[in-house]
Amino acid sequence: MIRASFAVVASSDTPAGTQVALSNIPNEGNGTIEYAGKLLPVFILAPFAGSLIVIFFPSDQRGATAWFAGAIALVCFLVTAGLYPFVASGGVLHYQLDWIPELGLNFTLRMDGFAWLFSALITAIGVLIVLYARYYMAAEDPVPRFFALFLAFMASMLGVVLSGNLILLAVFWELTSIVSFLLIGYWHHNAHARDGARIALTMTGMGGLCMMVGLLIMGRIVGSYDLDAVLASGDAIRNHPLYLTVLILLLLGALTKSAQFPFHFWLPHAMAAPTPVSAYLHSATMVKAGVFLLARLWPVMAGTEAWFWIVGLAGLTTLLLGAYFAIFQQDLKGLLAYSTISHLGLITVLLSLGSPLAAVAAVFHIVNHATFKASLFMAAGIIDHETGTRDMRRLSGLFHYMPITATLAMVASAAMAGVPLLNGFLSKEMFFAEAIETHLANALDTMTPYVATIASMFAVTYSLRFIHGVFYGSMPKDLPTKPHEPPRWMRAPVEFLVLACLVVGIIPAQTIGPFLHTAVVSILGDRTPQYSLAVWHGWNIPLIMSFVALSGGVGLYFLMRSYLATSIEGPPVFRLLQGQRIFERVLVTLSWKWARSLEQRLGTRRLQPQMCFVVLLALAAGALPLLLGGFKLPPLIIRGIDPAFALLWVIGIACAVGSAYQAKFHRLASLVLLGGAGLVTCITFVWLSAPDLAITQLLVEIVTTVLILLGLRWLPKRIEQPEDSEDLPFRIRLRRLRDFILAILAGGGMMLIAYTIMTRPLPETIASYFLERAYTEGGGTNVVNVILVDFRGFDTLGEIAVLCIVALTVFALLLRFRPQADSLETPEQQRVQNAFDDDHPDRAAGDSVAEYLFVPSVIMRWMFPITGLLAAYLFLRGHDLPGGGFAAGIAMSIGFILQYMSGGTRWVEERLRIHPLRWMSFGLLVAAATGAGSWLFGYPFLTSHAQYATLPIVGKFPLASAILFDLGVFSLVLGATVLMLIALAHQSVRAPRAHMRAARAEKEGVR
Amino acid sequence: MELILSAGIGALTASGVYLLLRPRTYQVIIGLSLLSYAVNLFIFGMGRLRVNAPPVLDPAGAGDLASYTDPVPQALVLTAIVIGFAMTALFLVVLLASRGFTGTDHVDGREQRHD
């Protein structure tokens, strides 16, 4: 593989070529490496925790906030630096925390040389950005929010590079998308910022989703989501039939993130962010995540023809178009944005080639681009900050006002243009050297060197424009503010980065060399080529290409200078093709036009067709597996039918059908018949040896009936009209017929399935487990209750929580309940009774109502203690005999509702303290506390008493902890039922009040 | 026995489904209640029908499925009954609130031209 001309030069040339002998690095023992791996979570935890803390800083404390954020970034950087010896010798640090190991999901962090290099970039530039932002942000900006988001972004980005698990990688990847959305939209009062943030999130988020699918498939191919395992199975992935699918999905993620053509347009719009954000996101982090992924998976994905074509084409197009567009930008940051796109394209092209040397160049250029681009963004920010504009048509001659900044910016631009003795030159030379190599004999490969030279020429042009247009020329006129040098420490980060560009550019082998080598070895392993980082490689083709690009670029600039000085933003012709507009149009078409027409065509707001669809779907879902699975009708067994049971169900079926028939016009009759069907169900439970169910069913039946009775009053009157079949429209008759057929099909299907299953022998089920252990381990003989409060206690806890939520919802809904006017009248019976009182002078008004059902109401009152006793009985015997918390709770609530029925709402509430909300909260707390109590003894949540009773201190405790849990269930069921019932019952008290208020208001209005 | 119960389940289901498809909220609530009986019985039937089988263990020995009823469907149905009640209550209140707000008891919150 080593055949690049420059590799030849390297071998003949220099001992200064970077070959870091492995023996130079302190050889750490395994124990120390493991210990060092424990430090990896610091990279995630420290910035995230810092982010949470910073958000609570007062917004006027700019200094303190910046110091704190800077300290955290610095700590991360120092930890990174301290970890270098461990990765330098090819070591890999690991940290693993089991998350869902059954699914192969672990919180695995992994640091090798490449991840180290990226961590160093992220944290080092992070520190510089904090320092810069301290001075950049204005006094009125909410600085804590900025630094909180900044730290969160740093953590997410570190998470991306350190993830040792594909799923974790995807999670952090999406986190960077989300946090960058918030950062770009930091000035959310600005519409451009909002748009830019939205476009960035949509593009990178969609790409991220595709990438996640790709990673999932990749994990399936490898059989593990662990990055080490993935990196070790390159052949398996490349030869898999799904390789192309995985490749395209992953590339959608990487190319959108790295703003590669045709997804590049989000990046210029993201320039609406504060400059420190741009400097961070578009130099060392966000956009580098895409090329990071490409490089990370390079060993397993690269080298195929598909990879070469897709990645290469995207990269080359981006390289050329980005550079071309950059020339025509009038906004300083816009120029830098397109230049970023172009440089990312360069890295992508390098990665597409599939040769190890190109990969080395790619990693090198990632670092170089991060340094010069971060410094350029910061310089642009300084210019913007000190002059009040970023428009290059208005800026000129600034060298006179800010000579130091100008010098710094010039050096950084020169690095961007690839001028010798600067770092950009080195990686560009490597790129040229690779571009002229033949990797695969096709048109794209032949084109590469030409495109590279032209793009490089454009790079020289726009770099020169940045320098010449802004810092030279006539004195600037009518700038918003008078320009001057920025504060000392605002410039410091730029100075540092420019110094780095120079040092790396002049003595690369001694500075970046070892670190680069560590990173490269961790990607390429045995395939690491010989390469040289020397500045001088002799007269060779890359140098000639550089020379052509430099002179051509300078010439081009001076040709276009006068045009650019006055032209409008954007390149000619291409500016008509606005990415954003296309994007918006696609979005509108997809999410509004198509969605709406789809809804119009397929959707309906009417419930009946929807219900019909649901029933049809259920029918199909039930019938299909039977038909496909070769379902055979079971033999019909007529014998052994108990006539009494048969009679019972004749009644039951009659009740059900009658209830359905009467539900429209005779609601009360329908309700009574429904109760009949319920009773038949209840008796069936008794018959078939399920006393627990029978008790609960009976009690619930009572409560449900009372509840619906309470509700009946608020429904509109419906008077039956004689239904002449002539009068009914054909459509309605057809619909009823259709519904009838559907109902028969559903009922027949259920009957068939039920009969088939019930006539087959019972297979071995988990029931045996419960039966065997209910007494020995659960300590109760009533297996059903033991399952509820012990074995499956957690389910029960969930269910009572649902009950609690429903009761609260009912309560809340009824608070806002406004009955219709026709429901407000006094019921007919009360009217008759009141009229009777009025007719008889010896009776006061309301006497008849009070005396109505006098004897039953006295009996009901007396029943209260007995009901309470029954509930207590049901509750206490629950663990061993039929009963339990559910039944007891409902029985007790019936006791309460009987009081309401006999005495009326007001009478009861004057005499009894009823606090259903307290009972419910008590119940939930007791149930949860009982569960949590087992933690105290070192057992999992809701471990029951079998362990509890053997405690040495407490001794033999007669009450099982499951009983306490059941007490919680009891209290909650009681509270929830009573709350629902009395909330509904209260409406009849509230309604007359509302009625009276309305009448009073009317009277006053008349007066 | 099985035949009768499955016929019962079928009738309850059919009545319930027919009511689910009706336009009035009250019809739907009755339909849901009927359907929940059917479903509860169906789940209960999955443990097979046993007459005169003891549901409560004899403390002397561990239980087995041959001599006792299947407790698992029973436990499932027991909570289903209570949750079913909660659902009925919630639906009833939604029904009432909808009637209060819209003035109609049609499931769509407004009268259709026919029926």
Return the pLDDT at A721: 64
Return the pLDDT at A291: 92
Q: Which CATH number fits domain B2-52+69-102: 1.10.8, 1.10.287, 1.10.3470, 1.10.10?
A: 1.10.287
Least confident of A228-237, A377-386, A398-407, A573-582: A573-582
Residue A1006 has pLDDT above 60, yes or no: no
A610 and chain B in contact, CB less than 8 A: no
How many Cβ atoms sit within 10 Å of the Cβ of residue A654? Answer: 15
Q: Is the pTM of this model over 0.80?
A: no
Q: How far is the alpha carbon of A626 from chain B, nearest alpha carbon, in Å? A: 17
In percent, the amount of chain A with pLDDT more than 70 equals 90
Please provide the size of chain B in residues: 115
Residues of B in contact with A894 (CB under 8 A): none
Residues of A in contact with B15 (CB under 8 A): 656-657, 659-660, 743, 747
What's chain A's average pLDDT?
84
* Residue boundaries of the structural domains of chain B: 2-52+69-102
Least confident of A269-283, A496-510, A634-648, A964-978: A634-648
pLDDT band at A576 (very low <50, low <70, confident <90, very high): low
Interface test with A, best of B22, B24, B51, B70 (most A CBs within 10 A): B70
Q: What is the pLDDT of residues A432-477, one digit of tens each?
A: 888 888 777 777 788 888 999 999 999 999 999 988 888 888 887 7
Return the pLDDT at A720: 64
Tell which residue, A369, A230, A359, A229, has the closest CA to residue A307: A359
Return the pLDDT at A954: 37
pLDDT band at A942 (very low <50, low <70, confident <90, very high): low
Torsion-angle region of residue A282: left (phi > 0), alpha (psi -120 to 50) or beta?
Answer: alpha
Do A710 and A984 touch, CB atoms closer than 8 A?
yes
How many Cβ atoms sit within 10 Å of the Cβ of residue A481? Answer: 10
Among chain B residues, the shortest Cα distance to A804 is held by B86
Q: Under an 8 A CB cutoff, do A802 and B4 touch? A: no
Least confident of A248-257, A454-463, A927-936: A927-936
Q: Under an 8 A CB cutoff, do B55 and A689 touch? A: yes
pLDDT band at A725 (very low <50, low <70, confident <90, very high): low
Cβ-Cβ contacts under 8 Å for A135 (sequence gap 6 or more): A486, A487, A489, A490
Residues of B in contact with A642 (CB under 8 A): 1
Strand ranges inside A77-125, DSSP E: 93-100, 105-111
pLDDT band at A17 (very low <50, low <70, confident <90, very high): very low
State the SS3 of A245-314. HHHHHHHHHHHHHCCCCCCCCHHHHHHHCCHHHHHHHCCCCHHHHHHHHHHHCHHHHCCCHHHHHHHHHH
Local structure of A576: helix, strand or coil:
helix
Tell which residue, B40, B55, B89, has the closest CA to residue A893: B89
Q: Under an 8 A CB cutoff, do A880 and B56 touch? A: yes
Return the pLDDT at A509: 84
Q: How far is the alpha carbon of B39 from chain A, nearest alpha carbon, in Å? A: 9
Out of A1-15, A672-686, A730-744, A946-960, the most confident range is A672-686
Q: What is the pLDDT of residues A114-167, one digit of tens each?
A: 999 999 999 999 999 999 999 888 888 888 999 999 999 999 999 999 999 999
Return the pLDDT at A953: 43
Q: Where are the alpha helices (DSSP H) in A328-418?
A: 332-352, 356-387, 403-417
Q: Under an 8 A CB cutoff, do B2 and A759 touch? A: yes
**C-alpha distance from residue A404 to each of A416, A470, A487, A943 (Å):** 18, 14, 12, 71
Q: The tokens of A623 are what?
A: 């019938």
Q: What is the pLDDT of residues A506-542, one digit of tens each?
A: 888 888 888 999 999 988 888 888 888 877 777 788 8
Give the A window 786-825 contacts with B, CB below 8 Å: 787-788, 792, 795-796, 799, 802-803, 806-807, 809-810, 813-814, 816-820
Residue A998 has pLDDT above 80, yes or no: no
Return the pLDDT at B113: 57
Give the A window 947-986 contacts with B, CB below 8 Å: 973, 976-977, 980, 984
pLDDT band at A26 (very low <50, low <70, confident <90, very high): very low
End-to-end CA distance of chain B: 41
Interface test with B, best of A810, A977, A988 (most B CBs within 10 A): A810
Return the pLDDT at A943: 64
Residues of A in contact with B107 (CB under 8 A): 607-608
Q: How far is the alpha carbon of B100 from chain A, nearest alpha carbon, in Å? A: 5
Q: Under an 8 A CB cutoff, do A660 and B34 touch? A: yes
How many Cβ atoms sit within 10 Å of the Cβ of residue A821? Answer: 10
Q: What is the ipTM of this complex?
A: 0.94
Q: Under an 8 A CB cutoff, do A747 and B15 touch? A: yes
Do A715 and A667 touch, CB atoms closer than 8 A?
yes
Residue B13 has pLDDT above 90, yes or no: yes
Least confident of A495-499, A741-745, B59-63: B59-63
A336 and chain B in contact, CB less than 8 A: no
For B19, the closest of A607, A660, A703 (CB atoms) is A660
Q: Under an 8 A CB cutoff, do A767 and B2 touch? A: no
Residue given tokens 């449900």 in the structure block: A704
What is the average pLDDT across A75-98? 89
For A656, the closest of B11, B25, B56 (CB atoms) is B11
